[in-house]
Amino acid sequence: MIGIDLFAGAGGMSLGARRSGVDVQIVVESDKWAATTYEANHMPKFGVFANDIREFEPVELGARRKPLVVFGGPPCQGFSTSNQKTRTAQNENNWLFEEFLRVVKHYMPDWVVFENVRGILETEGGLFVEKIANDLMSMGYEVNYDVLCATDFGVPQKRSRFFLIASLHGRSFVFPKPDKKRPKVTVKQAISDLPDVENGANTCELPYKYKARATYASSLRNGESFAKNNLVTNNGSLIVDRYRHIPQGGNWENIPDRLMGNYKNKSRCHTGIYRRLEEDKPSVVIGNFRKNMLVHPTKHRGLSVREAARLQSFPDDFVFTGSIGFQQQQVGNAVPPLLAEAIFRELMKQSS
């Protein structure tokens, strides 16, 4: 099967697709550093169109002898339940899915995989989901959608994602079922073998702390001797002092008022701010882990880029490029590769 990845980011969905046997050949991603990361790890046949998708002119694939899938996730910030200000039809970025549909209409692929936050189901009373589904059905597609939780598919993170799968050949896609007997992977199992770094760490490549003791961590090492992207935001002393008061599972509410004087109204802080991860449970949503200031379970610092990548299920040989801020954004925006792989493995089965 040949793949076209739109709004590709660093390539989390592509990684899951490739592991399932999809040959991803055409890629569109407007962010310069995400596109650079994508090319460094994937090297697609036609390179990466690193520009606004509205400027993208479809590349001709020639005579198709293999099935084709177009997949991707248009920007989701406007659909997020934590982003009420721009969660409306007036936010023009909420309409970029129309560019996704434009590309679908040009290629008329055998399969379409549309991914987004679960909040898209609620935005404007489901207006966007209804329009996407209706537009695809008007092109002749059979449409099914569901919300999957990443922890059900081996990802150590409580991250729910919306997937809409469409078939041009009248097939009703059956979503993969989680193995309820499979234990959830914890934060400790995911990151405890990674290098011991401190606040402000800026050495990219470091040796592992010890041999991986958990199956999950071992599976992501891919034979590597060193872990890369061990970068941590350099927080000021006031922020580090705040961290010291937060227990595992706690957040800003545990920080004394005397240390929160720069907040006009501390009570209006989002519950995800200053969240310290619990080592014996899956992580909360990674998202923008720098802005949310997610705290390491046992150290008074934020997460390293590699720790966050592990919690997203990226293998250790997947390298992120750009400054630390760009790397953090790429990791946080990504679809967990293991979750994407579950979708594409099922799609490959049902397309045969």
> How does DSSP assign 138-156, residue by residue?
HTT-EEEEEEEEGGGGT-S
CATH topology of domain 2-179+336-351: Rossmann fold (3.40.50)
Residue 221 phi/psi, 5-degree rounding, is: -75, -35
Sign of the Cα pseudo-torsion (330, 338, 149, 14, in order):
positive
130 Cβ contact partners less than 8 Å away, ≥ 6 residues apart: none
From residue 290, give the alpha-carbon distance in Å to each of 284, 286, 327, 329, 330. 14, 9, 10, 8, 11
Nearest-angstrom CA–CA distance, 233 and 333: 17
Note if 204 is an active site residue: no
pLDDT tens, per residue, the chain with 352 residues: 999 999 999 999 999 999 999 999 999 999 999 999 999 999 899 999 999 999 999 998 877 789 999 999 998 655 444 544 544 455 566 678 999 999 999 999 999 999 999 989 988 788 889 999 999 999 999 999 999 999 999 999 999 999 999 999 999 999 999 988 889 999 999 999 999 999 999 999 999 999 999 999 999 998 888 999 999 999 999 999 999 999 999 999 999 989 988 776 666 667 678 999 999 999 999 988 888 889 999 999 999 999 999 999 999 999 999 999 999 999 999 999 999 999 999 999 999 8
Among candidate residues 76, 149, 204, 269, the one labeled active-site is 76
Nearest-angstrom CA–CA distance, 228 and 230: 6
pTM: 0.93
